[in-house]
Amino acid sequence: MKKIFRFIKRTIMWILILFFGMSILTVIVYKYFPVYVTPLMLIRCCEQIKNGEKLKLKHEWKDWDEISEYMPLAAWAAEDQMFIYHDGFDLEAIQEARKTNKERGKIVRGASTISQQTAKNLFLWPESSWLRKGLEVYFTILIEAFWDKHRIIEVYVNSIEMGNGIYGVEAVARENFGCSAKDLTKQQCALIAATLPNPKVYSSATPSKYMYSRQRWILRQMRNLGNRFPTEEEIKEMREKKKEKKKTK
């Protein structure tokens, strides 16, 4: 019996070592190399086959300088305006979401940051569970530790679902606007960002009145944020200023 327990213990230990080692290595690799496929893309393909639909997977990686300067800004404005200040988790937004959901008696508001969404898109599956949430926290900590903010949002806009079978800014630009990611206008980027809460329901190809309303709101937020995504040096300065403000309060 003792031998069995020792064997089980060693097996679990090696599984954990392998998991942590491979996950850290993968995060480091993705810091420098493009992401060509994600679990979500494969899951959606399986869903299409299961539902008897035509297989559709459109995705093409583009580096930072091959993407419109407005796309990272639009994603920042639409999804997570505290992105450059937090370390992966917006604690104030989480508390506010819990309060709102408790008052409404159901989940009506989320608080996932761009970092959390990137971790989920790259390594995990869409269905919510305690296991996925725990792994999401783990991978969010990893990418925040090894990547800078530019890399996180670069991977985010390259890998996020932006329509049925459409992943990333280059694919959605080609499919819905007939141009490359580099040539997207500010208005088009804001319209794409307006779909991100639910890209399977909202489409930048056939926007509704709600979509146009959200696009206008995002454009206002983009102006408020400075009309461009800050450099890493500027992000460091902005974070320092925010820390100083907190100290003086």
Question: Within 10 Å of residue 36's Cβ, how many Cβ atoms?
Answer: 11
Q: Rounded distance, CA 158 to CA 162, Å?
A: 10
Q: Rounded distance, CA 100 to CA 180, Å?
A: 40
Q: Rounded distance, CA 138 to CA 148, Å?
A: 17
Q: What is the pLDDT of residue 108?
A: 46
Q: What is the pLDDT of residue 237?
A: 93
Two tokens, residue 227? 């009309």
Angle of CA points 152, 71, 40, to nearest 5°: 55
Q: Rounded distance, CA 182 to CA 157, Å?
A: 13
Q: What is the pLDDT of residue 2?
A: 73
Q: What is the pLDDT of residue 95?
A: 76
Q: What is the pLDDT of residue 97?
A: 61
Q: What is the pLDDT of residues 66-119, one digit of tens each?
A: 999 999 999 999 999 999 999 999 887 777 766 665 555 545 445 689 999 999
Structural domains of the chain in order of their starting residue, each with its CATH number? 67-80+88-248 (1.10.3810.10)
**Beta carbons within 8 Å of 243's beta carbon, 6+ residues apart:** none
Kindly list the strands in the beta sheet with 58-59, ordered across the sheet, starting from the edge strand earlier in the chain.
58-59, 166-167, 161-163
CB 162 within 8 A of CB 121: no
SS3 50: helix
Q: Rounded distance, CA 214 to CA 193, Å?
A: 9
SS3 59: strand
**Beta carbons within 8 Å of 4's beta carbon, 6+ residues apart:** none
Q: Residue 166: enclosing H or E segment and its boundaries?
A: strand 166-167
Mean pLDDT by 10 residues, the chain (249 residues): 77 90 96 96 94 94 97 96 93 71 52 92 90 95 97 97 95 97 97 92 92 96 94 93 79
CB 182 within 8 A of CB 70: no
Q: State the amino acid at position 198 in one-letter form.
A: N
SS3 161: strand
